[in-house]
Structure formats: structure tokens, C-alpha cells
Amino acid sequence: MSQFLSNYRDFLKQATKSDKYHGFDVRALVRVEPMLSFLFHDWWRVEFNGLEKLPKEGSALIVGNSGSFLPWPATMLLYALMSSRVNPRRVHIVADMDWIKDERLFASFLELGFVPFSSANMKRLFAKGELVAIFPEGAAGLARPFSARERLIEFDWVKLLPAVEEGVPIFPIATLGCDEAIPVLTNLDSIAKMLNLPSFPITPFFPWLPFPFNLASLPTKWNMSILKPLSYEKAEDRDLIEETSMKQSQFAEGEIQAELNRLLRQRWRAK
Amino acid sequence: MREVKELTWKSLEKLKDPVKAFSNRCPLYYERYAGKEDEFGYSLETFAKWEPLFRFLYEEYFQVEIRGIENIPGDGRAILVGNHSGLLPLDGAMISMAMCNLHQNPRRIRYLSTDWFFHLPGLSNWVKETGQVRATKDNAQKLLDAEELVGIYPEGIRGVGKPFNERYRVLDFHPGFVQLAIATQSPLIPVATVGGDEIFPEFVNLHKVARFLQMPFFPVTLGFPWLPAPLMFMPLPVRWMINIHKPINLGYPAEKANDRKLVMKLTREVQYEIQRDLNKLLRERRSTLTGWDEAELDGELPKP
């Protein structure tokens, strides 16, 4: 704990002031910090660019592509923002969490800084000047097959609606490597329906190996880059807001996909 | 016996006069362009001669599935914008075939193509006569002022030589086409083509050989430098899908063509629309060779 205090002093100052309505607990972060640090620095060697683009204070929305099988990009973003020397900030990760029936699991997600998706929740966070991240592909992104890796699934524009209503700046973030870290071979819909899960992906590890090993991943090289914010005008009219939201979500998706294409070309053509 | 002889004679006649056969098959197209002089060297005879080959590719070999052909106007200026693919740029030819055979008001598409084709000794005339035009701003403006349908692949020649692992990953579009569309007040029609990038799987691009031979790229494919001449250009029988989007009327005054920021933004929007559609079509595709399920395409079955 003391080590954590000295390492993350700036972050803790910020986190103590931040919104804790949903049960955020720094002690949970202290517990998982060694694992996140190992994954970030040693396992995936994440190359993080564009952190200085984020505002130091005030609300902003980060929109990204979700990796396959587990929401690792969200936690890596959390860690990157937490450990940054330049711009340490707490990020609220908004996600669809209704399918988590186990209360303890649900609570542990909330302790890390996850927030269930709803328009009211997001607006409240924006009003308090918090940094929010969202991964609008949702559960479909987690079950993305390996053959379609680094190809985005259409963004759900409704998830950008609260941000557009409030006129909050939107930053796309592209994550390369998260789809290859856990190759999803296939998705069994019938079993997912039976177990009331959004998807049931089969990976080389997942249902086969005993518990901690079935969540294993491959040590791929990750590249995360925050892109320049989308430019749009805050509208008052309801129809206009919806149209803007739809357009901006499509544009954000395009920006992320184009950045992924660029990064992939760099990777393949590097000598 | 007599009948058989007559049949063979008739088929020989057809071979002798491809223009007549073409005029019987596509009378509207023939009437529209027969006997008209063209500034850029279009020749209906050459087109009619080569049309059967490309129609065979369209109908039998690639079994192209086309959606939204009615979005292309039968008259008036318009710009087709697409993702380029396939080493030999057959994607343009396939859309031309659809416009010639399936459209209500069949018309030709004038593609703006790279200078390299016009320097080739054997090919330069053929490229001109089948309707391609050297890609310059003046030429494009002239064509649009003559109310023609202009095809542009803003990825350029880099887009044709994509390696196999980069298939359907659109390169950043050159913003010239938006500038042109604003300056000439013509609608943009985005076209997404799936299939073109897999007909010639390019494993390696030998830059040094390409530079030595002054070619835009020198690919190594399944057949290319290895097999004897006609076989090395043999494409794989991949199922194609061409999705033509609704025309976009930009609606900006012509002076805005020099507003670089606006032009860049519109370019990116068109690029992202095409990339998004490619991702969607690839997600719906069952396999490379058989393509899409008919029932799914018609929207009868819910998607998985």
C-alpha cells in the first residue's frame, strides 16, 4: 500500500476527489495493480500514444474498439491513465453489465471503476467533469472471430448520445493487438442463450483449461493511440442531436479503423 | 445435318461481327454511342469485341452479385468512388459490365487511370478505346462537363497492389475527387467491392524488380511470374459482391472546392463509409468461394 501511495500520488489526489457513486474503491486497484502493470509493461508491452491530447481537467469521452473475449483494452486504458506521469486521471468505463448475475463479480467490476451503461449515469458523470470511456461494439466485439480481427463491428450510436447532448469532446482510441491476444475460434450462440450470456466464445484456452489458465492470453505487441477529438457542434433540437450522434459514431468508427489499418501496415512493412 | 451446319455458320458470323452481336444484345447502349466521335479515343468496336470476355467473367466466373445498380443515374454527371483491388484492376470492368447489361439506361463509365497504362506499347490504345482516360484534373472536368459518368479510385495504384494480408483495408483516399465533385457540382456515388482483393493473392511485392522494370509494383502471386503467359493472369473464382450506395449530393457552392479542411473531412467520410460497408459485407460472407447465402442477402433470414 505504501509503495502504491508513493508511486501513484498524483493519481490518488485525483481519485479521492472523483465520483464514487457506484462504489469505486482504490483498494481494489491496489490489489490488481501488480497484475495490470505486468500485463501492460511485460506481457503486451503496450505502446501508448497521444495521452497528452486528453484534457487535464473537465469531462471527456473516450470511444474505442473492444478486444476479443475479455475487456482487456478497457483495463489497459485504465492502467495507462492511472500510471501516467503527465496526465494521471481516473477513467470511468461505461459498459453493458446487466448480464452479470453474480453480485460479487458485479461489485468487483464496480470497484475497479466500471459503471453500468445508462444515459442518466453518463450525464451525471459528465456534469461532475469526469473522464468516461465507452466501447460501443459491446458484446459483439468480444466474440469477434479471429478471421475478422481488427475489423470493427458497427458502433451503437445510442451510446454516444449522452455525450453529444452535453457537448462533451469525444476522443477515439485505437487498440491494435487486442484481437490477436486471445484468438476467438468460434462463438456458440446456443450455449450462450442457455447460460444467459451475451456470447460464448471458444478460444484455444477458454473452456478447456482449468480456471486461471482458461483466461490466458498470448503475448502480442499492443499499440494504443488516442486520436484527435471529433469536431461537432452542440445541438439543441432532438432530431439534430440524434443525427449528429449517428454521424459522429460512424466517423469515430472510421477513424479507429483507418488508424488500425495504418498501424497494421506499419507492422507488416517494417523491415 | 443441315441444321447443324446452319448453326455453325451462324455462330461463325457472330464471331466475324462482334459489333452486330453486341448491338443485338445491348441495343440501348449501342444506339447511345454508335457513330459518335470521342475526344479521348473511346471506340465502340473495341468495347464490343472485348465485352463477351468480361461478361463471361461477370456472369459465370465471378458470379458478381450487384446491389443498388439503380442508384446510378441514367443521365447526367456523377462520380463513382470505390475501393481499388486486385492487381489487374478488374473491379472497374465489372461495374462497367453491370452498367452495360443490367442498367435501365445503359451507359459507359469513364475511369480515370494512371499514366503507366498509357505508356505501355501494346496496351495504351486498348485502354483508351475501352473508355479509360488519363487521370488529370482537366480531363475529369471535361468529362463531367460533357455529362459523363466518371469512375475514380482515390486510393490510386497503391490500392491495386495491396498484399493479401492487407485485403479490404482501405488506404487513405486522395481528396481530389471531393474537390472535383464540389467544383463541378456533381453527386458522389460510393461503391464497395468485395472479392477483388482475393482473385490474385499477392504474397510479396518485389520493390527492386518493380523499380528496375519501371512497373508500379511487381507482385508474386500463385501464378504470376511462374506460369506461362495466359495462365499467370488466371484469377481465382472468388464470388464478388458490388454494393452501390445512394448518391451523395454535397450541396456546397463551387468556391468551397478550395477549402482544404472541408474537402479533407468529406473525403474521410466517404472513405469510412466504404470501409464500414466492406467490414459489414465481410462479416456476412460465409466463405470466399461461395460468398453469401441467398436467403440472408434477401433479408429473409435473421443474421447470426
B172 touches chain A (CB under 8 A): yes
Nearest alpha-carbon partner for B238 in B87, B127, B106: B87
What is the tens place of the pLDDT at every residue in B113-126? Answer: 999 989 888 888 99
CB contact under 8 A, B279 and A189: no
DSSP β-bridge partners for residue A93: A114, A133
Predicted pLDDT of residue B297 = 67
CB contact under 8 A, A254 and B166: no
Predicted pLDDT of residue B4 = 52
Cβ atoms of A258 and A150 within 8 Å: the answer is no
Which chain A residues are closer than 8 Å to B272 by Cβ?
250-251, 253-255, 257-258
Task: Quote the CA–CA distance of A94 and B117 in Å, as a whole number.
Answer: 53
Confidence of residue B289 (pLDDT cuts 50, 70, 90): confident
- pLDDT (mean) for B285-292: 86
Compare all CA atoms of chain B with the CA of A144 and give the residue at the minimum distance: B283
C-alpha cell at B102: 443490367
Return all residues near A51 (Cβ < 8 A) that are at least 6 apart.
Answer: A80, A81, A84, A86, A87, A226
DSSP β-bridge partners for residue B152: B81
Predicted pLDDT of residue B3 = 52
The ipTM assigned to this model is 0.92
Predicted pLDDT of residue B254 = 94
Stretches in chain A below the pLDDT threshold 70: 271
Confidence of residue B304 (pLDDT cuts 50, 70, 90): very low
Mutate to test the interface with B, among A257, A260, A262, A267 (most CBs of B within 10 A): A257
Specify burial of residue A220 (Cβ count, 10 A radius: 0-12, 13-18, 19+).
middle
Closest approach of chain B CAs to the CA of A97, in angstroms? 22
Predicted pLDDT of residue B93 = 94
Nearest alpha-carbon partner for A32 in A74, A95, A88: A74
Which chain B residues are closer than 8 Å to A152 by Cβ?
276, 279
Predicted pLDDT of residue B10 = 64
Per-residue DSSP letter, B246: P
B283 touches chain A (CB under 8 A): yes
What is the tens place of the pLDDT at every residue in B211-229? Answer: 999 888 899 998 888 888 8
B273 touches chain A (CB under 8 A): yes
User: Is pLDDT of B1 > 50?
Assistant: no
> Which amino acid type is present at position A7?
N
Predicted pLDDT of residue B14 = 61
> Which amino acid type is present at position A250?
Q
Helices A103-112 and A26-37 pack at an angle, to 10 degrees, of 80
Q: Which of A153, A251, A264 sits opposite B269 (nearest CB)?
A: A251
Task: Quote the CA–CA distance of A22 and B217 in Å, as a whole number.
Answer: 57
Q: Which of A254, A265, A268 sits opposite B276 (nearest CB)?
A: A254
Predicted pLDDT of residue B120 = 86
Closest approach of chain B CAs to the CA of A156, in angstroms? 13
Q: Which of A251, A253, A268 sits opposite B166 (nearest CB)?
A: A268
Which chain A residues are closer than 8 Å to B288 by Cβ?
none
Neighbours of B3 (CB within 10 A): 7
C-alpha cell at A95: 459498459
User: Is pLDDT of B189 > 80?
Assistant: yes
